[in-house]
Amino acid sequence: MSKPHSRVAEAAMAILQAAPDRRLGFSVLNRTLFYADLCALRDLGKPITGSDFVALPQGPVLRDCARVLVEELDRAGLAEQVVEGQENAVIARGEIAEFTLLSSEEVGIVRLVARTIHGRTAAWVSEYSHENEAWQVAFRAGTGSKIDRILAMQQVVEEDPWVGEPPDGTVEACMEASATENGVPLGS
């Protein structure tokens, strides 16, 4: 067994190792990686995988997911994809004792997202991902279109602190000027 050579593969293993039965459906694994990236972007200022996600009818999926994810895990002897009924499951066959490409904070985020999603049905996870505005925009642009992470992150932002802040003097002056200057914004 060898170590994976990508952040995607390490993140996937952290997810699989966090799952009580060390297996997830391929679609659910992709969504878990998507939401781990969004939570890391929100909390750490950068995504974990560094990979693009694209819009498919089922929801967000890693670009080139078979090559980037499944083949690398299989080559490393860490996990394999098997067909089980209608779902392709990814099953951990090995374990990473020490994550070298991900920080402890990133591993923590991945595990938290994995525990949150574990136990949900694939249909629920897919429906939840379909509520993501960035997936909707990308999907309308065409199957396989890249998902905008910044827009996607809005789904996992519980509260945007500045929205509730009262306007400061500059904002109030601009609002007043706009109202008194026949709606010309910012006093232009």
pLDDT tens per residue across span 94-104: 999 999 999 99
DSSP alpha helix (H) spans, 80-168: 104-117, 122-130, 133-141, 149-153
Indicate whether 187 pLDDT > 50.
no
Q: Is 153 helix (H, G, I), strand (E, B) or coil?
A: helix
E strands, the chain, are 23-25, 53-56, 59-62, 79-84, 87-92
Where residue 59 falls (left for φ over 0; alpha for ψ -120 to 50; beta otherwise) is left
Indicate whether 109 pLDDT > 90.
yes
pLDDT at 113: 94
Q: Which pTM value belongs to this model?
A: 0.81
Indicate whether 54 pLDDT > 60.
yes
185: burial class by Cβ within 10 Å (0-12, 13-18, 19+)?
exposed
pLDDT at 159: 61
pLDDT at 185: 52
CB 116 within 8 A of CB 128: no
Tokens at 24, concatenated: 């997830």
Tokens at 15, concatenated: 């997810």
pLDDT at 22: 92
Q: Closest Cα to residue 74, out of 85, 63, 90?
A: 90
Q: Mean pLDDT over all residues of the chain?
A: 86
Tokens at 25, concatenated: 């459906």
Indicate whether 67 pLDDT > 60.
yes
- Above pLDDT 70, what percent of the chain? 87
pLDDT in tens, 69-89: 888 899 889 999 898 777 788
pLDDT at 128: 93
pLDDT category at 118 given cuts 50, 70, 90 is confident
pLDDT in tens, 24-44: 888 899 999 999 999 999 999
d(CA 27, CA 133): 19
Indicate whether 140 pLDDT > 90.
yes
State which of 88-97, 152-161, 174-183 shows the largest mean pLDDT.
Answer: 88-97
Alpha-carbon torsion angle 93, 97, 103, 104, nearest 10: 110
pLDDT at 141: 96
